[in-house]
Amino acid sequence: MRPLQILPSMLASDFSKLGQEVSDIMGAGGDIVHLDVMDGHFVPNITFGPDVIKAIRKCTDKPFDTHLMIAPTDSFLEAFAKAGSDYITVHAEAGPHVHRSLQAIRALGKKAGVAVNPGTPEDLVEYLLDDVDLILAMTVNPGFGGQSFIRPVLEKVRRIRAMVGDRPIDIEVDGGVTADNAGDCAKAGANFLVAGSAAFKGGPNAYAANIETIRKAALLGRGELV
């Protein structure tokens, strides 16, 4: 089994003190920083771009996972790589040439991820398995934090897990992940769990307990805690 990683999504943080939030949540036990980039075109919301990512890169030594909800993607990949992303994920629905985007991300020396929306079947990634390091199954429709987890996606995660076999690919879930469903996500085969609201609820004093609760639930689901 690939290592379990909890990825706090900065979308749920207090943007007025973003750098401090990165250092607080990662100091509280987050494994990888999840960064949601939205363009108001591919998704109905706008967040931040490479300059903001570059500015917060110094706030932690831990890896950056950049989730691009933008279309087109290719002309921006270099900027997100230079900003300090370690993983760059593009949506399979964002354009006709996802294979090209994945190759471009790897050519920039970064780990390449492909994301699929809740209504997109897993077949879309079948011929990309040798070109990806990460597959993201969205468990909400992308665009906003704080939405409810879409349970039927768990079956898709199981199918992706089976498809991946023993390839070195991480499987990520993102959207509505909480301690209540983290065990099911892990059991289905996800090892990268993104958490926005569930990680940041209650403010900085609650961060460590929030992350620990999600991690414990996931480890239970993996059969690594009894």
Distance of CA 171 to CAs 61, 79, 82, 117, 189, Å? 22, 25, 24, 14, 7
DSSP code at position 130: G
Which of the choices Zn ion, ligand DX5, none does residue 115 contact, using the CB cut-off of 5 to 8 A by kind? none
**CB of residue 18 to ligand DX5, shortest distance in Å:** 14
Contact pattern for ligand DX5 over residues 156 through 195, marking x by CB under 6 A: ------------------xxxx----------------xx
**CB of residue 163 to Zn ion, shortest distance in Å:** 22
Enumerate residues 6+ apart whose C-beta is below 8 A from 200: 8, 12, 13, 21, 25, 207, 210
120 lies in the binding site for ligand DX5 (CB under 6 A):
no
List phi, psi (to 5°) of 62: -75, 160
Residue ranges of alpha helices (H) inside 112-206 are 153-164, 182-188, 197-200
Stretch that binds ligand DX5, among 78-86, 88-96, 124-132, 136-144 (CB under 6 A): 136-144
Residues 48-77 that bind ligand DX5 (CB under 6 A): 67
Stretch that binds ligand DX5, among 23-31, 102-110, 143-151, 163-171 (CB under 6 A): 143-151
Distance of CA 55 to CAs 10, 28, 194, 205, 223, Å? 14, 21, 22, 24, 39
Give the start-end residues of each E strand in the chain.
5-8, 33-38, 64-69, 87-91, 111-116, 134-138, 170-174, 192-195
Alpha-carbon distance of 175 to 165, in angstroms, equals 24
Q: Is 174 a catalytic residue?
A: yes
Count the site residues for ligand DX5 by CB under 6 A: 22
8 lies in the binding site for ligand DX5 (CB under 6 A):
no
Q: Is 184 a catalytic residue?
A: no
Q: Which of 24, 36, 65, 133 is catalytic?
A: 36
Residues 33 and 11 sit within 8 Å (Cβ to Cβ)? no
Alpha-carbon distance of 36 to 80, in angstroms, equals 12
Which of the choices Zn ion, ligand DX5, none does residue 12 contact, using the CB cut-off of 5 to 8 A by kind? ligand DX5
Q: Which of 24, 39, 174, 184 is catalytic?
A: 174
Stretch that binds ligand DX5, among 7-15, 20-28, 103-111, 157-165 (CB under 6 A): 7-15
Which of the choices Zn ion, ligand DX5, none does residue 56 contact, using the CB cut-off of 5 to 8 A by kind? none
Tokens in use for 98? 């996802």
113 lies in the binding site for ligand DX5 (CB under 6 A):
no
Binding site for ligand DX5 (CB under 6 A): 9, 11-12, 34, 36, 67, 140, 142-147, 174-177, 194-198
Query: Which positions are annotated as active-site residues?
Result: 36, 174
